Amino acid sequence: MRMRSLHHLPGLAMALLGLTAWVTTVAANPKERLEYWRQNYQELLPMEDPHAARAHDIFHRLLHVAGQKPGVMPRLYITKLNPWNISVPMALPDGGIILSKGALEICYREPARGDDRLAFVLAHELAHQFKDDFWHMKFFQAIEASKAQASQPNANLEEMLRIARLPDDVQAKELQADQHGIVYASMAGFNTNAIVTEDNAINFFQDWARALPLSRIGGVPTYRSHPSPQQRAEAIKMHLRQILDKMEEFNVGLWFYQARNYQKAILAFEDFLHFFPSREVYHNLAASHHQLALQYYQLWKKDAWALPFKLSLAVDPVTRAGKIALRGLAGTDKPAELFHAHLDKAIKFYHTAVSLDPSYALAYSNLGCALMVQEDLYKAIAMLQDALKIAPNSPQILNNLGVAFFYAENPRQAKAHLTRAFELEPTYDAPVFNLGQLAYDAHQEAEAQRYWLAYLRLDPVSPWADRVRQRVPQALPPPQMAAAPQVPEAVMGVTVGAFADEMPASWGEPRKSQLTLEAQPFKVARYSHVVMMLSPQDEILMITVLDGYKGKSAKGITLGSLAQEVLARYGRPAQILEMTQGESWVYEAQGIAFQLRDRKVSSWLLF
C-alpha cells in the first residue's frame, strides 16, 4: 500500500521538533515504553558519535533546571535510525525521550548553533512530558497500524486525519511547549538567539520544517482552512519574541543575586514568577529571601559568629557580615522582625519548589538550613534526610545534616555525617572546619587543632580562617600576597559606570528590551556574546559575558579557565553562591563574579 504524504497533513510540518501534545486515552501500547525502543531500535551511543555525547550532556543540564514529574524519571534514548523514517523526537509517558541521529544532524547543520538548538529540542520534549502531551505517539501509532492492517487502511488513515484536523488544540499545546522549552533552555545557559531573531535572519523552525523528510509518507490533501507552515512559524516566532523579552527578567534576577543585591533580585524573581511559576524560580526567590534574612540576622545579633558552624547554603552566613554586604540595611531599627519575615518567606517558597519537584535536592538542602536558623531542628533533620535519599553522596547535604544533628544534641551522628562528607570530598573545607568546631565544643583541643590546621591548608585567607587563627596560636599567619596594580575589570575596554554610547562600533546594534522594578525602568542590551544592564540614563550597571566571548578578565581569566586558575589569580572569593548549574564565585572588591560549571569558568559578571 502506498502511504500518504506527511507533508500535506495540515500543520504537522510546523508541529516542530517532536512536538507532542495529545493525551492518549486508549490502552497502553508497548511503544509508549522506553523498553520497546531499546529492543527494536539500535542505540547511538555517546562514544560512537560526538553529537550523541553532547546530547546526553545537554539533557542532564536541562534536567537540573526543568526537574521532573513525580514518579517519572526522564531518560534520553538516541536511535541510529529515524523511527517511521522521520527525524521527529518524541516524549513517552514512562519518561523516555526518543531522539534520532537524523534529528541531531538537523540541529548541527550549523555547528556553532548546534548545542543551543538541540537544547531547545530536548527542552520542548521535556515540557510536553511534564504536561502529559503525547499526540505524536498516537499519530505515529496510527501510521504503524495502517502499514500492518492493509485490509482496513481507511480506519487508521481517518484516525491520522482526525488528529491532523485539530490544529487549534495542537497549536495551543505546541506554543505552550515552545514557551516552556525556551525558558528551560535559557535557564540552563543556552543562547536562545540560535532559535529565532528579531530581524528574521535566524528562524530554526523553518529550517527544521525544510529538513524533515516529509515526502516519505504518501499524499493527503491540503486543507486550506488550516495555517500553512510559514504562518505557523511566524506565529511561533512572535510568541517567542515575547518569551525572550520576559526571560531577561529572570536573567536580571540572577545578575542581582550574583552581585548580592538580594532586594532587587527578589523584585525580578517575583515578577517573573507570574509569567513562569516553576520550581527554579520559586527556589531562586526563596534563596534571595534566605540571603537577606541572614544579613538581617547579623545586624540583629551583632556577633559575626552567631552561627558557629559552616553550612553549605547558597552562601556562607558569616562572610556576609562585612560592611559591603550590609550596605543599605544598617539603617533599619527592626532587624529581628525583618529577619523573621524574610526567613518565613524563604521557607514558604522552598516548600513550593519541593512540591513542584520532589527530586529537587538543592531546595531540600537549603530548606533544611533555613529551618535550622529558625530552630526547628527536627523538621530540618527530616528535610535533610529526604535530600540525602535523593543525593546520598552529596558532601554539602551530609555537611548540613551533621550540623543539624549537633544542634539536636546528637554529636555521634553529627561526627559520622561530617566525616562522611570529608571522605567524599577531601578538598571541601566546610566539614573540615565543622569537625574542628565539633571537637572544640567537646573540649578535645588536640583534635580540634588537627582539623583546623587542615582547614587552613584549604582556606588560608577567609574570615573563617581568621577565626581559626584566634584559637590555634601556632597556625601560620595568612600568606602575604604581593601588591599587584589594580586594573579595573572591563569587557573589551568597557567598564561598569560607562554609558551605552561608548560601546565599540564593531559590536553592532544590540537586541534591546526593557523591564520595570519598583516603578524604575531598566534596559537590557544583548550583543552576540555580551549582555549589559542599563539604568534609565543608559549608564551601564552590570555586564555579563556569555559563551563564545574570546576576551580575558583583568587578571587573564578566559571562558574555560579552571577553578584553580581563578584561585591563583584572584584568591579565595568573598562568597560562593551555589547555583543550580554550578557555582558563582563573588569578588566584591574587584566587582566581578565568575560562574563555574564542572570547575570551569562558563561566564562572568561585572557589577
Give the confidence band of 260 by pLDDT, cuts at 50, 70, 90.
confident
Show Cβ contacts of residue 437 under 8 Å, excluding neighbours closer than 6 positions. Answer: 308, 309, 448
The domain segmentation of the chain, as residue ranges, is: 6-247, 258-471, 500-606
Give the confidence band of 279 by pLDDT, cuts at 50, 70, 90.
confident
- Distance between CA atoms of 422 and 12, rounded to whole angstroms? 54
Q: What is the pLDDT of residues 441-495, one digit of tens each?
A: 999 989 999 999 999 988 887 778 888 888 887 776 766 554 555 788 999 899 9
Give the confidence band of 607 by pLDDT, cuts at 50, 70, 90.
very high
For residue 513, which phi and psi values (nearest 5 degrees)?
Answer: -145, 170
- Distance between CA atoms of 607 and 254, rounded to whole angstroms? 12
Could you say which DSSP state residue 33 is in? Answer: S
Q: What is the pLDDT of residues 309-358, one digit of tens each?
A: 888 764 333 332 233 334 455 556 688 999 999 999 999 999 998 888 88
pLDDT of the residue at 235: 62
Angle, alpha carbons 449-451-453 (nearest 5°):
65
Q: Which three cell numbers stand for residue 607?
A: 557589577
- Distance between CA atoms of 447 and 571, rounded to whole angstroms? 28
- Distance between CA atoms of 357 and 66, rounded to whole angstroms? 9
- Asked whether the predicted pLDDT for residue 525 surpasses 80, the reply is yes
How many of the other CB atoms lie within 10 Å of CB of 298?
Answer: 23
The partner residues of 520 in beta bridges, in order of sequence, read 517
- Distance between CA atoms of 172 and 18, rounded to whole angstroms? 15
pLDDT of the residue at 84: 65
Cα 398 to Cα 374, 401, 413, distances in angstroms: 19, 5, 11
Cβ proximity of 311 and 430 under 8 Å: yes
500-606 topology per CATH: protein yfey like fold (2.60.460)
pLDDT of the residue at 132: 76
- Distance between CA atoms of 234 and 135, rounded to whole angstroms? 22
pLDDT of the residue at 38: 92
- Report helix, strand or coil for 508: coil
Summary mean pLDDT of the chain: 79
Three-class DSSP labels, 318-334: HHHHCCCCCCCCCCCCC
Find the range with the poorest average confidence among 80-84, 141-145, 187-191.
Answer: 141-145
- Distance between CA atoms of 551 and 590, rounded to whole angstroms? 17
- Distance between CA atoms of 256 and 500, rounded to whole angstroms? 20
Q: Which three cell numbers stand for residue 42?
A: 539500535
- Asked whether the predicted pLDDT for residue 602 surpasses 70, the reply is yes
- Distance between CA atoms of 288 and 343, rounded to whole angstroms? 10
- Asked whether the predicted pLDDT for residue 154 surpasses 80, the reply is no
Nearest to 393 by CA among 427, 437, 361: 361
Listing DSSP states for 395-419 in one string gives: HHHHHHHHHHHHHTT-HHHHHHHHH
Give the confidence band of 207 by pLDDT, cuts at 50, 70, 90.
confident
- Asked whether the predicted pLDDT for residue 216 surpasses 50, the reply is no
pLDDT of the residue at 133: 67
Which one has a higher pLDDT value, 560 or 12? 560
- Distance between CA atoms of 310 and 517, rounded to whole angstroms? 34
Angle, alpha carbons 601-605-607 (nearest 5°):
150
pLDDT of the residue at 411: 93
For residue 99, which phi and psi values (nearest 5 degrees)?
Answer: -130, 145
Cα 269 to Cα 58, 284, 349, 560, 601, distances in angstroms: 25, 7, 12, 29, 25
Percentage of the residues of the chain whose pLDDT score is greater than 70: 75
Nearest to 555 by CA among 523, 584, 528, 589: 589
Give the confidence band of 137 by pLDDT, cuts at 50, 70, 90.
low
Find the range with the poorest average confidence among 66-70, 147-151, 288-292, 317-321.
Answer: 317-321
- Distance between CA atoms of 424 and 199, rounded to whole angstroms? 51
Place of cell 537577606: 292
556-589 residues labelled b (16+ CB within 10 A) or e (exposed): ebebebebebbeeebbbbbbbbbbbbbbbbbbbe
Largest separation between any pair of C-alpha atoms in the chain: 91
Cβ proximity of 338 and 332 under 8 Å: yes
Nearest to 577 by CA among 204, 315, 219, 189: 315
- Asked whether the predicted pLDDT for residue 244 surpasses 60, the reply is yes
pLDDT of the residue at 601: 96
Could you say which DSSP state residue 217 is in? Answer: G
Which one has a higher pLDDT value, 319 or 195? 195
Burial of 340 (0-12, 13-18, 19+ CB in 10 A): middle
Radius of gyration in angstroms for the set of CA atoms belonging to the chain, rounded to a whole number: 27
Cβ proximity of 46 and 58 under 8 Å: no
pLDDT of the residue at 123: 92
pLDDT of the residue at 233: 56
- Distance between CA atoms of 406 and 429, rounded to whole angstroms? 18
Which one has a higher pLDDT value, 234 or 459? 459
- Asked whether the predicted pLDDT for residue 163 surpasses 60, the reply is no
Could you say which DSSP state residue 63 is in? Answer: H
- Asked whether the predicted pLDDT for residue 1 surpasses 70, the reply is no
Q: What is the pLDDT of residues 59-110, one digit of tens each?
A: 988 887 777 766 778 999 999 988 766 667 888 888 899 999 999 999 999 9
The model's pTM: 0.73
pLDDT of the residue at 494: 93
- 155-178: average pLDDT: 58
Cβ proximity of 456 and 468 under 8 Å: yes
Q: What is the pLDDT of residues 11-57, one digit of tens each?
A: 222 222 332 232 333 345 778 888 989 999 999 999 999 999 999 99
Length of the chain: 607
Taking domain 258-471, whether its CATH number is 1.25.40.10 is answered by yes
- Distance between CA atoms of 266 and 494, rounded to whole angstroms? 28
DSSP alpha helix (H) spans, 278-426: 279-301, 335-356, 361-373, 377-390, 395-407, 411-424
- Report helix, strand or coil for 236: helix
pLDDT of the residue at 435: 96
- Distance between CA atoms of 280 and 362, rounded to whole angstroms? 10
The two counts, helices (H) then strands (E), for the chain are: 20, 11
Show Cβ contacts of residue 587 under 8 Å, excluding neighbours closer than 6 positions. Answer: 570, 571, 573, 574, 593, 594
**Which stretch, 23-27, 297-301, 599-603, has highest mean pLDDT?**
599-603
Percentage of the residues of the chain whose pLDDT score is greater than 90: 38
Cβ proximity of 570 and 587 under 8 Å: yes
pLDDT of the residue at 393: 93
- 559-586: average pLDDT: 85
pLDDT of the residue at 135: 54
Nearest to 76 by CA among 106, 110, 51: 51
pLDDT of the residue at 581: 66
